[in-house]
Amino acid sequence: MTLPSTTALPVQVQSLSKHFGEVRAVDDISFDIRPGEFLTLLGPSGSGKTTLLMMIAGFSRPTNGSIRIAGQEIVHLPPHKRNIGMVFQNYALFPHMTVGENIAYPLRLRKVGKAEIEDRVRNVLDLVQLGGYADRRISQLSGGQRQRIALARAIVFEPRILLMDEPLSALDKQLRETMQIEIRRLHDRLGMTTISVTHDQREALTMSDRIAVFSKGRLAQIASPTGLYEQPESRFIAEFIGESSFLPLRATPNGLAYGDQLIQFDEAPQHTSGNMLLMLRPERLRLATGDTSGEGANYFRGRVQTVVFQGESLLFEVMLDGGHKVFVRVANRSDSARLVPEEGQRVTLCLDRADARIVRAED
Amino acid sequence: MAQAVLNLPPSSLNPDQLKENHQALQKEQRSEARTMFRLTLPALLIVGLLMVAPIGWLLSMSFVGQDGSIGLENYILFFSEAVYREMFVNTFVIAFVVTAICLILGYPVAYLMAILPSPWSGFLMLLVLMPFWTSNLVRTFSWLIILQRNGLVNQLLVWIGAIERPIALVHNMTGTIIGMVHIMVPFLILPLYASMKAIDLNLMRAAANLGSTPAHAFRRVYLPLTMPGLVAGTIMVFVMCLGFYITPALLGGGRIKMIAQRIEESLALYPTWGPAAALAVLLLAMTAICLGVSLLLVRRLTAEMRG
């Protein structure tokens, strides 16, 4: 099968802003996307991620700034001259055309020959595993099939880059997870620079090379999925990606401390100014048994308040003696069931030095 | 207590009781159907008495000749006399021109209403609906005043130098068409607006994204998607134009004869109601055919879009 011959182009966004009156929907954002990279713009609703995507696609005019693809400024081009593929949130497939006509639409506009159009439609349908669907009507397709057709239409004309606006939000959970992996695999085969927008952190973690997290119109952090999860820069990121509990720290001559307890780090934190918090991922905390005085870890004592059974794991809500609530997740293994403390029972929690991370309290 | 109910063994329901339930449920369903029928009966009676019976009477009268004989005499009259042919042509030409002008004027207004943010689109809707609250007769007389020889329009045209002396805007085809367009435009705008409102604006974005210029996207995506509303509105206006009476009678000044006026004249002209009834039957038949065709068209267009 011949794949659409795609290119891997770099994208540069510089000092991009979009103001609606006093409101700064996108506020002075700059980042580079590497050729062939899969970048996800992640953030809560109203964080500016969709506005940013609309500006790249050309549907929203920036107040200021520059967008360049392979060095070429595109900020002044109308959308139909940008040659950018896009998968819309509700797919935006033309209901009055068949699947084949939808996919052929961009090819006809580009004056591709009739025989070649047929070839390319067939190929791209095979690519999204819907071979033979060319004559179906859009209304005959399921949500997942529409999603694939939207993707096929967006890549068939060999655009310079691919944009996706919440591409999986209309699908049910199981299908979403299948499609995440499928889209990622397709991206790896095509190698096209891709920018996707989502508010679903799992989707971002699964599909992306890098994730740009947005908050209130600003870029909060841009990093690989691992980097974002393991080394979040702020409490906002730590809460948005995965679950976390936080303990306030204060600077002492000997290091950072929670109450009177000095916290042990593998690597001494570099910035210790301002309000610092100790980030505790529920799955990195352990219920300690036996010796709890070792130097290799940090120990916290408290009382179990609630135990929640969540299928693959058990979630404990523990009130520390210092007055802070933390969550502990324990994988549901056959032997762990026997160690499960009950509500009201006193426990000791253990955090390895390697898992001790600090984050900024403010965004 | 609750515990006791929950513990009720399933075996306590014997087959006889289930059968009893089944019969009771069926009886309920039958009585419900009877109630439904009784509730719709008044409406059915009204429709039968006021619609079906008079139309049947009309139909029967149309076959009664002037000498009391039964036959197609009245219908043959229409096709043999030039006056009637001219009148039919007139009627269709006026209906066609009015519909075309309504289309040209109405489409942009409907589009504007569909894309404007809510306070503005609401205001526009108010302007479109306003004429509905004034009687057709009043509006037609207003046009008579505005369009007359020394009326507002003629004075304005002379003042700006577009014409040297007042032109005839009423008592002719022009006046008839202006008056009818004014009355008919909302009937086109409303169904159009409904079908435009249902279009996902992302479709236009998608078209642009795939390389369409705005004009191309409009032609290939927007226009086809408004087709059901367009066809419905067009046929509605056309059909209503066919039976127009007041406006052509007043603004046409007796020179423009449409079918409804002929019906009125026939009553005065002939000793029997036969010719008038036959004309009315023809009008009814034409209207029914137009509506039937439009219904089929709209159904097919909508089906095409929904599958």
d(CA A217, CA A334): 46
**Domain identity same for B53 and B170:** no
What does the pLDDT read at residue A295?
Answer: 67
Query: In which residue ranges of chain A is CATH 2.40.50.100 found?
Result: 243-360
A86 touches chain B (CB under 8 A): yes
CA distances from A72 to A84, A97, A188, B302 (A): 13, 34, 25, 44
Percent of chain B with pLDDT over 70: 95
**Six-digit token string for A232:** 């979040």
The beta-strand segments (E) located in A70-217 are 72-73, 84-87, 161-165, 194-198, 210-215
d(CA A291, CA A311): 30
What does the pLDDT read at residue B134?
Answer: 85
Confidence (pTM) = 0.81
Is it the case that residue B16 has pLDDT exceeding 50?
yes
**Domain identity same for B209 and B274:** yes
Query: In which residue ranges of chain A is CATH 3.40.50.300 found?
Result: 11-230
Is it the case that residue B162 has pLDDT exceeding 70?
yes
Could you tell me the CATH number of the domain that includes residue B263? 1.10.3720.10
In chain B, the number of structural domains is 2
What does the pLDDT read at residue B4?
Answer: 45
A329-338, B27-36, B250-259: which has the minimum mean pLDDT? A329-338
> What's phi and psi for B110, nearest 5 deg?
-60, -40
Tell me the residue range of the domain where B287 lies. Answer: 80-306
Describe the strand order of the beta sheet including A245-252 as a list of residue ranges.
Answer: A261-262, A255-258, A245-252, A276-280, A357-360
Comparing B14 with B231, the larger pLDDT belongs to B231
What does the pLDDT read at residue B2?
Answer: 42
Q: Average model confidence (pLDDT) for chain B? A: 88
On whether residue B260 sits in a domain, the answer given is yes
Fold (CATH) for A11-230: Rossmann fold (3.40.50)
What does the pLDDT read at residue B3?
Answer: 44
**Domain identity same for B85 and B206:** yes
- Which phi-psi region, left, alpha or beta, contains residue A161 (left: φ > 0; alpha: ψ -120 to 50)? beta
Binary contact (A139, B305; C-beta < 8 A)? yes
Chain B residues lying within 8 Å of A138, measured CB to CB: 307
Is it the case that residue B5 has pLDDT exceeding 60?
no
**Domain identity same for B90 and B136:** yes
| A79, A83, A140 ranked by CB distance to B307: nearest | A140
Nearest Cα residue to A125 out of A160, A97, A89, A101:
A101
Chain A residues lying within 8 Å of B211, measured CB to CB: 80, 83, 106, 109-110, 157
d(CA A191, CA A34): 11
On whether residue B94 sits in a domain, the answer given is yes
Q: Please give, rounded to a whole number of angstroms, the shortest distance from the CA of A254 to a CA of chain B.
A: 59
**Domain identity same for B156 and B53:** no
User: Which residues, listed in sequence order, are joined to residue A262 by a DSSP beta bridge?
Assistant: A257
On whether residue B74 sits in a domain, the answer given is no
Other CB atoms within 10 Å distance of the CB of residue B34:
9
d(CA B201, CA B190): 19
**Domain identity same for B23 and B152:** no
The beta-strand segments (E) located in chain A are 11-20, 23-33, 38-42, 64-69, 72-73, 84-87, 161-165, 194-198, 210-215, 218-223, 245-252, 255-258, 261-262, 276-280, 285-287, 297-309, 313-320, 325-331, 346-352, 357-360
Under CATH, to which class is A243-360 assigned?
A: mainly beta
d(CA B25, CA B158): 80
Q: Which residue has tokens 């069926």? A: B26
What does the pLDDT read at residue B26?
Answer: 95
d(CA A222, CA A143): 31
Binary contact (B209, A57; C-beta < 8 A)? yes
Chain A residues lying within 8 Å of B307, measured CB to CB: 137-140
On whether residue B68 sits in a domain, the answer given is no
What count of CB pairs under 8 Å joins A to B? 68
Is it the case that residue B1 has pLDDT exceeding 50?
no
**Domain identity same for B283 and B187:** yes
Please, which residues have CB within 8 angstroms of residue A138's CB and are 6 or more apart in sequence?
A93, A94, A95, A97, A98, A99, A102, A146, A149, B307
**Domain identity same for B52 and B106:** no
Q: Taking CA atoms, what residue in B is nearest to A109?
A: B211
Average confidence (pLDDT) over B16-38:
93
Instruction: Note whether A78 and A59 are within 8 A (CB).
Output: no
A88 touches chain B (CB under 8 A): yes
- Each residue's pLDDT expressed in tens, for chain A with a length of 363 residues: 566 767 789 999 999 999 998 889 999 999 999 999 999 999 998 899 999 999 999 999 999 999 999 999 999 999 999 999 999 999 999 999 999 999 999 999 999 999 999 999 999 999 999 999 999 999 999 999 999 999 999 999 999 999 999 999 888 888 888 889 999 999 998 889 999 999 999 999 999 999 999 999 999 999 999 999 998 988 999 988 988 999 998 888 888 888 888 888 887 776 667 788 999 999 999 887 666 666 678 899 999 999 998 888 889 999 999 899 999 998 888 776 566 788 888 888 999 888 888 888 875
**Domain identity same for B123 and B31:** no
On whether residue B73 sits in a domain, the answer given is no
**Domain identity same for B39 and B93:** no
**Domain identity same for B56 and B159:** no
Name the DSSP letter for residue A74.
Answer: -
The total number of residues shown for chain B amounts to 307
DSSP SS3 for B230:
helix
